Chain A
Amino acid sequence: MAFVVPKETYNGKVCEVEIGTGPRAVKIGGENTLPFLAFEGSVPNKPAIAYEIQDVPPDDWPQTLQDVYKDVSADPVKWAKYCQDELGAQMIALRLIGTHPDRQNRSAEDAAKTVKDVLAAINVPLIILGSNNAEKDAQVLKSACDAASGRNCLVGKAQEANYKTVVASAMASGHKLIAMSDLDVNLAKQLNILITQMGFDKDKIVTDPMSSALGYGIEYTYSVMERIRSAALFQNDQTMAPPMVNDVGMYVWKVKETMAPEADQPSWGPVADRGIGWEATTAMGFLMAGSDLLIMRHPKAVDTVVKMIDGLV
């Protein structure tokens, strides 16, 4: 008996979203099959990876990770160029963490200047991230969007608490938008609906389901992502069709496994390898669940995942 390949028929398709301008613009999404099942659909774009940089030195990152960027991280422009030119970054994600009221509380104008300077130095697409303080982000992202006008950035994150202002800013200066909800399929759907009701084009949204690190709830993110993707493909639910982004590094590089020295955890092996492996494994989990864009920190973890993506598509 010859084996008949059991294929699914999908009714929907993930939206394709282009970020950036010029020859190095990047397209994500567009697939009409579950992750990497090219035998029953098409996967026009590989999942992309953005290197995360910050507007202020990353003194809260674990030492092994800080060391990688120690010569450049005092200056976001140098840092961005280093990622683009030396590490071969496909995209850069600039996190304006210094604007957080509990951090340096930098002003929206300061943030706008950083965005401008970074954009002037790079030609790869830029993701602009706030500090995850919903109120402050509303102001910061507005200035940042203006400063980045014409560069077709991906801006976020719009959340339930601040989406109105963030959406309005992204719309006014022609950017793409990250919409993040709290790890829940229905909340993700609802936020997309609210955003499109404001007149924002659904083909310009990227969904952040909210990530959680390996060992710290990755299974919740994994299942929410699988459910979002199933709704888009099987039920052709247009409100669930945006591609998905995972903010990997930010959740990974604060857990104990990426920080504890071997002296404290003798059965865990060297902290440097452990951290890289933790970030790469977390990213692999998200890819298996349908991620289209990963925001990551460690070059060795990025290289590993790039190799895997090349072997998957």
Chain B
Amino acid sequence: MALSGVEIFKHLPKTNCKKCGHPTCLAFAMKLAAKQATLDACPDASEEAKAFLGAASEPPIKGITIGAGDKALKVGEETVLFRHEKKFVNPCGFALAIKDTDSDIEAKAKSVSDSEIERVGQKLRVELIAVENASGDPATFAAAVAKAVAAAPSAGIILETENPAAVEAALTHVSSKKPLICGANADNVEAMVNLAKYAGCSLVVRADGIDAVAQLTEKVVGMGFKDIVLDTSARKPKDMVEQYTQIRRAALKKGVKALGFPIISFAVNEDPFVEQALASVAVAKYASVVVLSDISQWKTLGLIALRQNLYTDPQVPMQVSQNIYKVGDAKEDAPLLVTTNFSLTYFIVLGEVENSKVPSWLAVMETEGLSVLTAWAAGKFTAAKIAQYIQESGIEGKISHKELIIPGYVAVLSGALEDKLPGWKITVGPREANALPAFLKNKTAAA
């Protein structure tokens, strides 16, 4: 839990020697409390102070890494219950469940490798494969895990079995991939913790309900192991919302160490739409790993968008820099379009201009990351400002015509723009960008 400056001050040398670059120990303590400094700046801090502040500065929800290398997935370290307070930190991971008895393990694993899609300039994907020991046989399990890894080398692995012998068999193929072992229960906890420790992996601690999970994690932590992911066995939406909220609150507001870990959620349902809806609940309500039974493209597209949206920074709209972007092999006669620099707007419009296959110039104007209508309403996308931008952008030297296409939603600007940009023709484009391909094709066909 966060400490106040005064609490930290009590543990400092109180000599005001200034070696940390601050006038007094108290001033330095305030900076520490605000997380604008770190304790190593004070050369005289005692071991006791380091231990105390070290423990206190541990995040209330531990960060866990699943997998190895640059595709590893980091989850946890969340600091708030509501995204308007502060940005949610580490987006949850999605996992596809595969049974070791499935006949199409390779194909399913490959669908995970191929799941990447681009949205608003970010490349997003299903990160994990959860191989389940449905056969009950360790050798079959190990072989299935090996197959999945071979077919999807960049995916993280969850070893879904409560049998330590199966984990051990599988680890011979994947220990270097640092899988998430899933997991420990009251009966197998010693063996599972030893395996996880030995292989340097993270471990799911599973029990029925929060109380039982907390007791079991205390035991695991007592064994000197902390790379824990929690599973309270909630499988119904009501239990998910209630239990995950209680866990997040307990960790953040009550400092309950035994619950200060990320959550794994099994959002599995035979109806694919219900499964997607269940997973939406998990994404919104604090799960850090969401396991699905099927990752049809339409389904993951929606879930990935939801995750991306909820994990954006509420204070700063994502923006791109002001520039005149060349789309395709735009020449001097290519059409010129203007839009705002809100990432979402830019990427949607860019995508549609690309779809049109008509080489074009896309003028992206700085509007503090606001969408077309929002920027217009806020006075940042006005005729005067657009005219000034076009004149100063140097585009006139690059193109042989003087026609500017403006978004349909700001059609009202066209008159004023023609006044402010003498000699220019202002053309009102469609309102929705998805009408741009037809619009641009028509335009070039007419020309």
Which residues in A have some Cβ–Cβ distance to B below 8 Å? 1-6, 8, 34-39, 182, 214-219, 222-223, 226-227, 230, 254, 256-257, 259-260, 264, 267-270, 273-274, 276-278, 280-281, 284-285, 288-289, 300-301, 303-305, 307-308, 311-313
The count of chain B contact residues (Cβ–Cβ below 8 Å) is: 56
Specify which of A36, A264, A269, A307 is in contact with B297 (CB 8 Å cutoff). Answer: A269
Nearest-neighbour CB distance to chain A for B312, whole angstroms, equals 6
Closest to B119 in A: A215
**Does B298 sit within 8 A of A, measured CB to CB?**
yes
- Whether A274 and B218, one on each chain, are in contact in the complex, defined by CB atoms closer than 8 angstroms, is no
Known: A3-B214, A280-B280, A288-B241. 13 other contacts (CB 8 A): A1-B214, A5-B246, A6-B249, A6-B250, A34-B245, A38-B238, A39-B242, A256-B433, A267-B297, A281-B302, A285-B310, A289-B284, A304-B274
**Does B415 sit within 8 A of A, measured CB to CB?**
no
Closest to B252 in A: A6
- Whether A304 and B355, one on each chain, are in contact in the complex, defined by CB atoms closer than 8 angstroms, is no
- Residues in chain A near residue B377, CB distance under 8 A: 182
- Whether B238 and A313, one on each chain, are in contact in the complex, defined by CB atoms closer than 8 angstroms, is yes
- Whether B117 and A304, one on each chain, are in contact in the complex, defined by CB atoms closer than 8 angstroms, is no
- Whether A269 and B238, one on each chain, are in contact in the complex, defined by CB atoms closer than 8 angstroms, is no
Which residues in B have some Cβ–Cβ distance to A below 8 Å? 82-84, 117, 119, 210-211, 214-215, 218, 236-238, 241-242, 245-246, 249-250, 253-254, 256, 258-259, 271-274, 276-278, 280-281, 284-285, 296-299, 301-303, 305-306, 309-310, 312, 314, 344, 348, 355, 371, 377, 432-434
- Whether B238 and A281, one on each chain, are in contact in the complex, defined by CB atoms closer than 8 angstroms, is no
16 pairs, A vs B, C-beta closer than 8 Å: A4-B254, A5-B210, A38-B238, A182-B377, A218-B309, A223-B314, A264-B355, A268-B298, A269-B299, A270-B298, A284-B281, A285-B280, A285-B306, A285-B310, A303-B273, A312-B238
- Whether B301 and A308, one on each chain, are in contact in the complex, defined by CB atoms closer than 8 angstroms, is no
- In the complex, which of the residues A1, A6, A274 has the most CB atoms of chain B within 10 Å of its own CB atom? A6
Separation of A264 and B306 alpha carbons in the complex (Å):
22
Query: Which 8 pairs, one residue from A and one from B, show the smallest C-beta to C-beta distance?
Result: A269-B297, A269-B298, A274-B298, A284-B280, A288-B284, A215-B305, A223-B84, A304-B273
- Residues in chain A near residue B215, CB distance under 8 A: 1
- Whether B237 and A219, one on each chain, are in contact in the complex, defined by CB atoms closer than 8 angstroms, is no
- Residues in chain A near residue B246, CB distance under 8 A: 5-6, 39
- In the complex, which of the residues B218, B241, B254, B310 has the most CB atoms of chain A within 10 Å of its own CB atom? B241
Closest to B84 in A: A223
- In the complex, which of the residues B211, B242, B259, B298 has the most CB atoms of chain A within 10 Å of its own CB atom? B298
Closest to A303 in B: B273
- Residues in chain B near residue A259, CB distance under 8 A: 434
Nearest-neighbour CB distance to chain A for B230, whole angstroms, equals 12
Check A217/B344 contact, CB under 8 A, given A6-B250, A277-B299, A304-B277. Answer: yes
- Whether B277 and A305, one on each chain, are in contact in the complex, defined by CB atoms closer than 8 angstroms, is yes
Nearest-neighbour CB distance to chain B for A85, whole angstroms, equals 23
Check A281/B242 contact, CB under 8 A, given A6-B253, A215-B119, A304-B271. Answer: no
- Whether A277 and B312, one on each chain, are in contact in the complex, defined by CB atoms closer than 8 angstroms, is no
- Residues in chain B near residue A218, CB distance under 8 A: 306, 309
- Whether A280 and B238, one on each chain, are in contact in the complex, defined by CB atoms closer than 8 angstroms, is no
- Residues in chain B near residue A305, CB distance under 8 A: 277
Nearest-neighbour CB distance to chain A for B50, whole angstroms, equals 27
Closest to B305 in A: A215
Closest to A219 in B: B309
Nearest-neighbour CB distance to chain A for B268, whole angstroms, equals 13
- Whether A3 and B211, one on each chain, are in contact in the complex, defined by CB atoms closer than 8 angstroms, is yes
- Residues in chain A near residue B119, CB distance under 8 A: 215
Check A280/B298 contact, CB under 8 A, given A6-B246, A6-B253, A312-B238. Answer: no
Closest to B433 in A: A256
- Whether A311 and B237, one on each chain, are in contact in the complex, defined by CB atoms closer than 8 angstroms, is yes
- Whether B434 and A256, one on each chain, are in contact in the complex, defined by CB atoms closer than 8 angstroms, is yes
Specify which of B82, B241, B274, B281 is in contact with A223 (CB 8 Å cutoff). Answer: B82
Specify which of A5, A37, A38, A300 is in contact with B273 (CB 8 Å cutoff). Answer: A300
- Residues in chain B near residue A34, CB distance under 8 A: 245
Separation of A218 and B306 alpha carbons in the complex (Å):
8
Separation of A311 and B275 alpha carbons in the complex (Å):
13
- In the complex, which of the residues A36, A254, A305, A311 has the most CB atoms of chain B within 10 Å of its own CB atom? A311
Separation of A126 and B236 alpha carbons in the complex (Å):
32
- Residues in chain B near residue A35, CB distance under 8 A: 241
Closest to B249 in A: A6
Separation of A147 and B278 alpha carbons in the complex (Å):
41
- Whether A311 and B236, one on each chain, are in contact in the complex, defined by CB atoms closer than 8 angstroms, is yes
Closest to B308 in A: A215
